[in-house]
Structures are given as structure tokens and as C-alpha cells.
Amino acid sequence: MPKAHIAGMTDLPETFADQILGFSLPSRDARGRAVRLDRVLDEILSAHDYPAPVKHLLAEALVIAALMGSLLKEEGAQLTMQAQTQQGPVRLLVCDYRDGELRGYADFDSAALKGLGANTSLAALFGQGALAITFETGKGQRYQGIVPLEGASLAAACERYFYQSEQVPTLLKVGARATESGCVAGGLLLQHLPAGEEGRERLNAQPDHPDWEHVAILAGTLSHAELVDPALSMEAIAWRLFHEEGEIRAEPGAHLSKGCRCTVAHFESVIARFPHSERDEMRNDAGEIVVDCAFCSREFVLRH
């Protein structure tokens, strides 16, 4: 088979950090997303003093949110991932993606996390729990899938979501490491669309389809070190994995940013829905209603 060429990238700069790269393998009916989070990840994680295992978990969740959220096409569409349990050291994990904006937060029990390393199993972090994945379209439609928090990682739980809820064979690889300045994390999402190109109806998805088995084996060779290597572009990763295929079609996606959407005006509009009596109960001695945003670790003072 002739060597592949990457179509669509001749006049564009390579994609390194804080930007999605979309690509497809037409000969194998597969599509992919690749991303590396650097500055954006540090901005989100710096809002709280997260211990190593929670920092690693939230970094992995944000990478997955960026990869899965980038599959949405409509402006204003949003992906939300949420895991909540009362049984483990991590009580709540939530992150979302909308139009290139990422945000995330984790609530945890510091004492219960003592002695746990950065690469800790989901069972040790959550106990028994479930992961809810919610897609909201730009037109207000909403659909949700829930899967158990089982397996070695969040990536494994999300693969199960795609298989159960979407009937789309999916491979997710995520890597994260601490740096002198913070943290860097990267990920690859690969899916088999057996009815053809993206946008067409997906029929007869088969996890054992020869084309899917082929690309999944190739993608499985990708190492965590490659995902977080700042000198390795997303295009270079796609080339390393699939250069023997006939063609790789690549398209740069959204630039990513920290996207906390909290404002005084937003909270005032929410509080205004409550009866006056309930609003009065919310006020402090100064007559103010103080709203604490967990995503950005800021307090918003409302006086109306």
C-alpha cells in the first residue's frame, strides 16, 4: 500500500497545544480527534490546590471532555461529564466543553486521599459510582448516557459509554504528567463509522470489524510519552500511527480556552427566579447574597 499523505494541511501550521486536531482515515471508515492541553490545563487546575491523584484525574477528564465535545458541530452545543459518589475520596468530578471553552472542578476528601499516588484506580478514588455524560445541542435538545465508574481509568468508562449508548466502537488514550510549571495532558479519540464518512448514518457497527481492529491496533501503540511530548505535533502523531494508510484527512479544530461563564448578571438572573422571602434568607448581615463559583474559585456579591 502506498504511504499516506495528510490532506488539507499543506498551508497550515501544525497543531501542538490547546487546539483540537480532527482527522479521518477514509479507507478504514474511521475518524479521530487529538489534543494536548498545556496552558489551558494549568489555568483550570490553578483555581484549587488539588493533590496529585485529583490533579491527574481532572486532567484526564478535561482531555476527554475536549475530545468528545469537539465531536459536536452546532454552535452553543455542550458536553458535560459528571461523576458523583459518597463512597470514595473524590466526592464530585464535573467538567464541560462548549465552543472551545473548557472548565472543570473536583471536590474531594483530603484525609482519605493520603497515601494515594497520581495514577490511582477509579475504584480507589470513587468507590462505586456512575459517570453521566450529557450532550446538549445548540437547539436545546438534551440526551444523556450513564455508565458505571469501572475499569482502570475514565477513558475506559467513556469507551463503554460509546459502545452502550452510541453503538460506536471507540478507542480513547489519555496521558498526563506533572511539569515544573504545572501539568500537561494529551489524548486521542478514534472511532469506527462503518457506513462511511462522518455525517452519514451509522449502521452495523461491529467491534470486530477488520478495519476497526486494524486501526485500533495501530492506535494502541501510541504511548503516554508521545501524548505529552511538547515537541510532537498532533499531525506528527497521526502520521506515526497511520502513515501506511492510503490517506489521512486532517482539519484543525477549535482553539481551547478556560471558559468559566459565571458573571454577576448571570447569577442575578438565576436568583431573581426565587421568591423574595427565599432571597431574603440567602442574604448575609450586610444584605448581600454571596455566590461561590467552584469552577473559578471566585465569589460573586449580589446586592439586588
Query: pLDDT digit string (tens) for 187-206?
Result: 999 999 866 544 444 445 56
Q: What is the rounded CA–CA span in Å between residue 249 and residue 21?
A: 10
Alpha helices (H) in the chain, listed in sequence order: 39-45, 52-69, 110-113, 122-126, 154-161, 210-219, 224-227, 234-242, 264-271, 276-282
C-alpha cell at 210: 477488520
Domains belonging to the chain, first-starting first, are: 6-258 (3.55.30.10), 264-302 (no CATH)
Closest CA to 32 of 244, 223, 216: 216
pTM over 0.85: yes
Burial class (CB in 10 A: 0-12, 13-18, 19+), 32: buried
Q: What is the rounded CA–CA span in Å between residue 138 and residue 124?
A: 37
In 3-state terms, what secondary structure has residue 278?
helix
**Residue ranges for the chain with pLDDT beneath 50:** 1-3, 197-203
Q: What is the reported pLDDT for 140?
A: 77
Beta-bridged to residue 79, according to DSSP, are: 97, 135
Q: What is the reported pLDDT for 5?
A: 57
Q: What is the reported pLDDT for 123?
A: 87
Give Cα separations from 240 to 3, 16, 31, 169 (angstroms): 11, 15, 16, 22
What residues contact residue 137 under an 8 Å CB cut-off, 6+ apart? Answer: 72, 74, 77
Q: What is the reported pLDDT for 7?
A: 66
Query: pLDDT digit string (tens) for 115-166?
Result: 887 778 888 899 888 999 999 987 878 989 999 998 889 999 999 999 888 8
Q: What is the rounded CA–CA span in Å between residue 6 and residue 3?
A: 10
Q: What is the rounded CA–CA span in Å between residue 184 and residue 60?
A: 10
